[in-house]
Amino acid sequence: MLLVVDAGNTNIVFAVHDGASWQGTWRISTNDQRTSDEYAAWLLLLLERSQIDPKKISRAIIGTVVPAALYHLRRLCRQWLAIEPLIANAALDWGYPVHVDTPEEVGVDRRLNGLAAQHLFGGPLIVVDFGTATTFDVVDAQGAYCGGAIAPGVNLSLEALHQAAARLPRISVGRPSAAIGRSTTVAMRSGLFWGYVGLVEGIVSRIALEMGPPVKVIATGGLAPLFSEGTELFQHVAPKLTLDGLRLLAARNTSYSAIPAPG
């Protein structure tokens, strides 16, 4: 079985794939001070409760946009699972060309989304990832990654609004019942939700115009199901797209093996 670790700015997702389907997916908040032993205590308990034998995990891959977290995630795999993990980076075989000015600057999460979306849905397409940042990634009809756009994420904008305006409360993200808010909280929720729907529709429309129709639009990220309710823009909602990208990348790069368990 394959252990997949997707370390983002807000959360780290651990998942196990048995070659046919995902057997378990678990999420923990990102904290670059968390040690490998802390990860192990948490993960091994969840594996046990999901009836997954850690000894059957023979491969691992880590994708991260948080370099400080990598040391302890790699040590988790080495010390507790006796596996040398594959680290997703630009030097690996991705199976598709990258047509941008500086390929080394493209975040690994964006490349993973492009890889998975192209494999699952075929280009041309746009992936909208509702994460810490809201990213737009473009894959052309030939399967090449062509760049995209980056905007502040929903929760990041929400926190900035609360901190910059002393009288505005901190609110949760949700779809409002009406566009016209008759209280401060509902007005904020309306501005946030419909504002981001408008942002996404506007950016996707401009990208699609440059690409030339038709183009598929894919939503991913934790808030993708929520925002897909507010627009008919998306042909597919794929919350596990980044995990699938890691799984596919591991399948293309098999030249790594388990190391001896620590004594």
CA distance 175 to 226: 7
pLDDT for 106-126, tens place per residue? 889 999 999 999 999 998 999
Asked if residue 128 and residue 76 are part of one domain, the reply reads no
Total number of domains in the chain: 2
Asked if residue 137 and residue 59 are part of one domain, the reply reads no
- Active-site hit among 32, 53, 109, 140: 109
The reply to whether 105 falls in a domain is: no
37 annotated active-site: no
CATH number at residue 7: 3.30.420.40
pLDDT given for residue 28 in this prediction: 92
pLDDT given for residue 222 in this prediction: 86
The reply to whether 98 falls in a domain is: no
Confidence of residue 209 (pLDDT cuts 50, 70, 90): very high
pLDDT for 137-181, tens place per residue? 999 999 999 999 999 888 877 777 767 776 777 777 888 888 998
Q: Which residues contact 209 (CB under 8 A, 6 or more apart)?
A: none
83 in Cβ contact with 59 (< 8 Å): yes
59 in Cβ contact with 5 (< 8 Å): no
Asked if residue 236 and residue 130 are part of one domain, the reply reads yes
Asked if residue 161 and residue 58 are part of one domain, the reply reads no
| Residue 14 in tokens | 């651990």
Q: Which residue bears the tokens 């990634």?
A: 137
Q: What is the pTM of this model?
A: 0.86
Range of the domain at 32: 2-87
Give me the percent of the chain exceeding a pLDDT of 70. Answer: 96
